[in-house]
Amino acid sequence: MNLSRLQIAIKNIKDTLEAPEDKNNLQNNLRVAIENIKTAFERSRVNRELEKNITNIRNAFLENWEEEKLPFVKKITNITNRGIPLPVLSICGKGTREIRFTKYLAYFLDPSKNHGVKDEFLKEILKEECKEANLPSNWYESCEVKSEMTIGKNILANEKIACCSDISIIGEDFVIVIEHKILSSESNHPKTELRQLKRYSLALNNKYPDKKQLKIYLTPRERSKSYPDDWITLTHKELINRGIKVLNKESIPKVAKENLLRLLIDLAIGPYEILEDSLNRINFLGNELWNKGFDLRRVLKFNELVDKNELVIKLLMEV
């Protein structure tokens, strides 16, 4: 109850009764004073209801936190306490990052390499696009995967302009080309106004006129559409989510899962220093919440950091 308002209202009644005023004015002043008392009591009731509702909401939030969120805090804290699979390329810095990441990805797409995943990663990563392109269901059998492969030359303005794809997957009657951009965009060439993807399309038509073509533009995040219609976009997030399906397969050996996990973490995080700071903070806040109990500010900060590192957290939960 608002005691100050009630005290003022009572004083007004007292002053009104003691004041030498006419009867009508006395009744009017008493009516106003009584209304003020009613208002004070009504506000007190509303405040009690509000306080009760706030308490109920807080108790419900705490119950939800303890039943659903706290086990997650404990799990991610345990994971970060024992360390994470090291993303080697990210730790080594950017450098010629695009080339190194592309070769790393091409290695895991190649079933003939000793990563242990066989053709499972290749099949899962391009399954949707190959189905959409009406490639045979066994398209991944006996195909050849190459990185930094020359796909031909454009003859434009009486000049031959070489075109080299980041990743090429060559089958008997099809060719899949993946152009991987991390830090850059389509490259220009001083001898033509044609953009890179358009030049590559012309080169592929010249080199593989009788093969079905599937052209994929791979980037960390989806970009505004400025690429040719015959190129399909694929993001790191989509690639990682498909890779997680491979991690969940029982047929994949443990060492193969560990190898693939490092690739996916590398693709997810960018510069490692940023991730390391975030994970250290998540680990600290998780330990505080688990050992000391609920604290709203810590909860909000913990949730914010988890959301910002969604892909990495998702991958770590697969460990």
Is the overall model pTM greater than 0.75, yes or no? Answer: no
DSSP calls for 229-240: TTEEEEEHHHHH
Please write the tens of the pLDDT for every residue from 68-77.
Answer: 888 889 998 8
At CA 190, angle to CA 188 and CA 191, rounded to 5? 115
Q: Could you tell me if 253 and 116 are in contact, meaning their C-beta atoms sit under 8 angstroms apart?
A: yes
**Contact (Cβ atoms closer than 8 angstroms) between residue 69 and residue 60:** no
Same-domain status, 120 and 174: yes
Cβ–Cβ < 8 Å for 143, 126: no
**90 touches 271 (CB < 8 A):** yes
Do residues 168 and 241 share a domain?
yes
pLDDT of residue 157: 47
d(CA 130, CA 141): 13
Asked whether residue 64 is domain-assigned, the answer is no
Q: How much is the pLDDT for 99?
A: 80
pLDDT of 225 reads 64
The C-alpha atoms of residue 236 and residue 222 are separated, in whole angstroms, by 9
Asked if residue 107 and residue 79 are part of one domain, the reply reads: no
DSSP 8-state assignment for residue 189: B
215: domain range? 90-267
Strands 231-235 and 212-219: what pairing?
parallel
- Residue 197: CA count within 13 A, CB half-sphere: 21
**Same-domain pairing of 251 and 278:** no
pLDDT band at 1 (very low <50, low <70, confident <90, very high): very low
> How many residues in total does the chain contain?
319
Cβ–Cβ under 8 Å, residues 16 and 33: yes
Q: Do 51 and 77 sit in the same domain of this protein?
A: no
Two structure tokens written together for 25: 């004015």
Q: Is residue 62 part of a domain?
A: no
Give me the number of domains the chain comprises: 3
Per-residue burial over 168-201, b = 16 or more CB atoms within 10 Å of its CB, e = otherwise: bbbbeebbbbbbbbbeeebeebeeeebbbbbbbb
pLDDT in tens, 221-279: 776 566 667 889 999 999 999 999 999 998 999 999 999 998 998 888 765 556 778 88
Residue 63 included in any domain: no
- Verify that 231 and 212 share a domain, yes or no: yes
Same domain, 215 and 278: no
Band of residue 95 on the pLDDT scale cut at 50, 70, 90: very low
Structural domain includes residue 198: yes
260 C-beta neighbours (distance < 10 Å), count: 24
